Amino acid sequence: MGRMNPIALTISFVDGSEKPVTAVAADLIAFETHFDKSVTELQKNVRLSYLFFICWHVLKRTNETSDEFEKWTETVVGVTIEDEPKK
């Protein structure tokens, strides 16, 4: 079985700002629990809701948002998958 590395994402917000985030084990486990799917599903069948959920979970875990998921998505316009986590 392959190794699952952290996932680097950049969130683009309605106000024009961007935020790089790195999804780690806690975020990937939350994804699997919430969607009842293996995180390897991201490699085969990427859905925007999956990526937005992971981004939201990173920000929730790091206390950078207190909004619930649906409310938080109203502030977001897009997400980009990066090649590797930004330092």
pLDDT tens-place string over residues 7-65:
899 999 999 999 999 999 999 999 999 999 998 888 888 889 999 999 999 999 999 99
With tokens 């979970």, the residue in question is: 57
* Confidence band of 67 (pLDDT split at 50, 70, 90): very high
Q: What is the pTM of this model?
A: 0.88
CA atoms within 13 Å, Cβ hemisphere of 86: 10
pLDDT over 80 (residue 87): no
Residue-range domain boundaries for the chain: 7-81
Report the pLDDT value the prediction gives residue 84, as an integer from 0 to 100.
60
Q: What pLDDT is attached to residue 43?
A: 81
